[in-house]
Amino acid sequence: MAPRLTVVVSQGRSNHPQKRQLEEQIVAQLLGSPRIEVTVIPHLYDLQPEGTGVLCLRGISGSMVVLSWLYPRAAFWVLDRHGIRGHRGQTQLRQGDDSGEEEDFPDESPTSEDPASETTPERGPVPDRWIYCLDLRVADDPGAFVEEIHRIAQECSARAEQQSQPSSAPTNGQGMQTLVALSLPAESDNSSEGASGSLSPPSPNDSQPRRVEESGPRRWYPVIDYSRCTNCLECLDFCLFGVYGVDGHQNIVVQQPDNCRKGCPACSRVCPAGAIIFPEHKTPAIAGADTGQETGLKIDLSKLFGAPDALELAVEERDRELVAAGREAVGMSVGVPKRQAGKPPAARDELDDLIDAVDELEL
């Protein structure tokens, strides 16, 4: 029998009644399905490093669907930083799916070329399971999410069945071995103090979801998309608040996340790979949008992040935070990416207009 699929519903930060209603309607419609078990957690991004929510998620060994009020790429890499890893599954649920409108979005069907699915040698093998992240903002109709979750459950069953055939080839060099996420080391973190929480016992008859209660402050920290990161270490040089560090293999890690200055996204603008995500930033490109589908704008992220204006803005933002912290502004004199230092300011062009348009979007 195929393993059950775990559906994790990450609640919104606020108790907005419409948001809570959508979350609870989805949960209610999934309960009782023999192939699915449901867990409800507080806002994924705010979970404490060794808190109840993270421990609960690490205890899920099979494939999972995570619904949150975040872009799927952001949610996937937030999970990764907590040591919850797997191949990234692609959803067929698109913006406006419950309105019947057709939109011209890029094909996102699953592919073995998906960079997030590949093994990154320095970070160890990817566990043989799939993680699908769905953005709760793409539809108002709970049925659209439920339908997609059942499709994913089917996809996972078919995959498990195929793998159980004696002739089928291993998908990642691990054969049928499943690596339990609990055993994976997460990045070091400094924010577990003050966290408290509880976990409801598994429901014996699936009439109730498992609910994780965890209280803690709202958090703000960068999340690295390792499928894009080239380990150039420019963020390490640029950040003057000690947020970044390197691990034993000299790979960039977010070492002191809660040293990050609330609301500031400066280093995401200097990352040449567009690999730094601030999931709660209002600008989609910084918050982890990976296509133009959420905004209707087709955004070239590499151009956006690499724009000369972006560097000036990042330096301004960093200076503002330095001064707010009682330190001296440093301008361009410290940690400015070598590739951009000394470049004359470029004349305003259509890219500047695009950046302004994106910044003005209220999501």
Q: State the burial class of residue 51 (Cβ atoms within 10 Å of its Cβ: 0-12, 13-18, 19+).
A: buried
Q: Establish how many alpha carbons lie within 13 A of residue 241's alpha carbon, considering only the half-sphere containing its beta carbon.
A: 26
Of 2-10, 130-138, 208-216, 223-231: span binding ligand SF4 (CB under 6 A): 223-231
**Residue whose C-alpha is closest to residue 151's, from 102, 94, 103, 91:** 91
Interface map 250-269 toward ligand SF4 (x if CB under 6 A)? --x-------xx--xxxx--
What is the closest distance, in whole angstroms, from the C-beta atom of residue 77 to ligand SF4 in the complex? 11
5 three-class SS = strand
**Helical segments of 31-90, H only:** 52-58, 72-81
The minimum distance between CB 251 and ligand SF4, in angstroms, equals 8
> How many of the chain's residues bind ligand SF4 (CB under 6 A)?
26
User: Residue 131 or 267: which CB sits closer to ligand SF4?
Assistant: 267
- Two tokens, residue 6: 């775990």
- By CB under 6 A, residue 78 contacts ligand SF4: no
* The one among 231, 255, 329, 352 contacting ligand SF4 by CB under 6 A: 231
- Among 118-126, 147-155, 270-278, 287-295, which window interacts with ligand SF4 (CB under 6 A)? 270-278
Q: How far is the CB of 317 from ligand SF4 (least distance, A)?
A: 7
| Shortest CB 273 distance to ligand SF4, Å | 4
- For position 285 contacting ligand SF4 by CB under 6 A, the verdict is no
Closest contact distance (angstroms) between CB of 336 and ligand SF4 is: 12
Which residues on neighbouring strands pair with residue 198, listed in sequence order? 213
Chain centroid offset of residue 328 CA = 33
Q: Provide the angle, in degrees to the nearest 10, between the axes of the packed helices 350-360 and 308-324.
A: 40
3-state secondary structure of 97: coil
Residue 234 lies near ligand SF4 (rule: CB under 6 A): yes
Query: What residue type is 287 in one-letter code?
Result: A
Q: From residue 124 to residue 153, what is the string marking binding to ligand SF4 with x (rule CB under 6 A)?
A: ------------------------------
Please, which residues have CB within 8 angstroms of residue 113's CB and are 6 or more apart in sequence? none
- Amino acid identity of 280? E
In the complex, least distance from residue 233 CB atom to ligand SF4, rounded to whole angstroms = 5
Q: Rounded CA gap, 300 and 286, in Å?
A: 12
Which one of residues 139, 275, 336, 354 is an interface residue with ligand SF4 (CB under 6 A)?
275
* Binding of ligand SF4 by 203 (CB under 6 A): no
Ranges within 303-362 binding ligand SF4 (CB under 6 A): 318, 321
Q: For the stretch 295-318, what's the b/e string if a residue is b when 16 or more beta carbons lie within 10 angstroms of its beta carbon?
A: beeebebeebbbbebbbebbbebb
Q: Please, are residues 6 and 64 in contact by the beta-carbon 8 Å criterion?
A: yes
Q: Residue 124 CB, nearest distance to ligand SF4 (Å)?
A: 18
Q: Which is nearer to ligand SF4, 153 or 252 (CB)?
A: 252
If binding is defined by CB under 6 A, does position 286 make contact with ligand SF4?
no
Q: How far is the CB of 314 from ligand SF4 (least distance, A)?
A: 8
Q: Does 168 bind ligand SF4 (CB under 6 A)?
A: no
- Least CB distance from residue 327 to ligand SF4, whole Å? 12
Which range in 25-33, 119-127, 194-202, 225-233 contacts ligand SF4 by CB under 6 A? Answer: 225-233
> Measured between alpha carbons, how far is 246 from 258 in angstroms, rounded to an integer?
16
| CB nearer to ligand SF4: pick between 12 and 274 | 274
Residues in the chain: 363
**Displacement of CA 1 from its chain's centroid (Å):** 31
Going by their DSSP bridges, the two strands 252-254 and 244-246 should be labelled as: antiparallel
Interacting residue ranges for ligand SF4, rule: CB under 6 A: 222, 224, 229-235, 238-239, 241, 243, 252, 260-261, 264-267, 271, 273, 275-276, 318, 321
